Amino acid sequence: MTQNNAGTTATSVGLVGLGAMGRGVAQNMLTKGFAVMGRDVNPESLKWLESVGGTACQDASLMASKCQVIVSFVVNDKQTEEVLFGQNGLAAVMQPDSVFIACSTLPPQYVKDLATRLAEKRIHLIDSPVTGGKVGAEKGSLTVMIAGEQAIYERVKPVLSTFGAKLFFLGTEHGKGSQMKVINQLLCGVHIAAAAEALAMARENGLPMETTLEILKSGAASSWMLGDRGPRMVTEKYDDVLSAVDIFVKDLGLVLDSARQSTFAAPMAHAAFLQFIEASGHGMGRLDDAAVINNYKK
């Protein structure tokens, strides 16, 4: 507990991962009355957190002693594993009955196993991936896909509501939130790849690109991804990265892993994955994912 600017006691929440998404989440938590103790491998991110009123806290024991709820916005399962069970890991020091909220895009089976491992240490897991990107994190308008014990979900709902405008509870079985995020990423990846192909074909045939985009956005061919990524494809501006090509290499890889485990044919996901892996192979992995259109350049 700490004193906020109004002089009242603010609940401390731990936040691991202060990247593109985590910064927006931290800002919203602070704005909505929580004290934020943050952890990140990047010293600049910790300086940023302190500049907006949060507390840098790399020591797992200190964070665990102050925070009954810890939210994770790291990149993947490897980083989640390191945060919890690596050197200076949180799982060894978190208090009994505390809650770890996993907001990263993770393999569903990993999440199921993680819930069991944490339960052995009397730590609750909320499986809680999000969608809405950097802009959604900044606006506090993320969509959150949630699975876990309902009583625990209700306990941490005020925290989730600081950055999530739409909270969907998918049941008590851990992994269902992550499975929903996998399906979400299937559609996102396919929509980006399809938008790139359509706009590249228009360019190849000499159509005016800005007009083409407006026409496609105005009718039945439109999609959220076309409206969001299309302008970047038309202007060829890929350095201001909101979501990188390699993020979709990872996420569509999770889609294909899930499809294989359930013997579910996912040909559209395979086709989109090949577009992103090709772009990454051509050195575009760290560019904005709209750069996948460059696969079609002759």
162: pLDDT strictly greater than 70:
yes
Which helix or strand (DSSP H or E) is residue 216 part of? Answer: helix 209-218
Confidence class for position 59, pLDDT limits 50, 70, 90? very high
Cα pseudo-dihedral 279, 285, 290, 293, rounded to 10: -20
Which helix or strand (DSSP H or E) is residue 140 part of? Answer: none
**Pair of tokens at residue 107:** 């393999």
Query: For 64-101, what is each residue's pLDDT tens digit?
Result: 999 999 999 999 999 999 999 999 999 999 999 999 99
pLDDT at 143: 98
Domains identified in the chain and CATH numbers: 2-172 (3.40.50.720), 179-296 (1.10.1040.10)
pLDDT at 9: 54
Q: Bridge-partner residues for 166, per DSSP? A: 143
**Pair of tokens at residue 189:** 């990846």
Contact 74, 17 (CB under 8 A): yes
pLDDT at 6: 42
Q: Which of 181, 237, 297, 298 is catalytic?
A: 181
Q: 15: which residues sit within 8 A by CB, 6+ positions away? A: 22, 25, 26, 29, 36, 37, 38, 39, 54, 70, 71, 73
Query: For 93-145, what is each residue's pLDDT tens digit?
Result: 999 999 999 999 999 999 999 999 999 999 999 999 999 988 999 999 999 99
Query: For 262-293, what is each residue's pLDDT tens digit?
Result: 999 999 999 999 999 999 999 999 999 999 99
3: pLDDT strictly greater than 60:
no
CA angle centred on 151, ends 32 and 66, rounded to 5°: 50
13: pLDDT strictly greater than 80:
yes
Q: Any idea which residue has 């201001």 for tokens?
A: 240
Mean pLDDT, the chain, as a whole number?
95
Name residue 1's amino acid. Answer: M
pLDDT at 240: 87
Q: Any idea which residue has 């002089």 for tokens?
A: 7
- CA–CA separation, 247 vs 290, rounded Å? 12
What is the distance of C-alpha 102 from the center of its chain?
Answer: 10
Question: What percentage of the chain has pLDDT greater than the value 70?
Answer: 97
Look up the pTM and report it. 0.92
Tell me, yes or no, if 297 is annotated catalytic: no
Average pLDDT value for residue range 187-207 = 98
Contact 37, 57 (CB under 8 A): yes
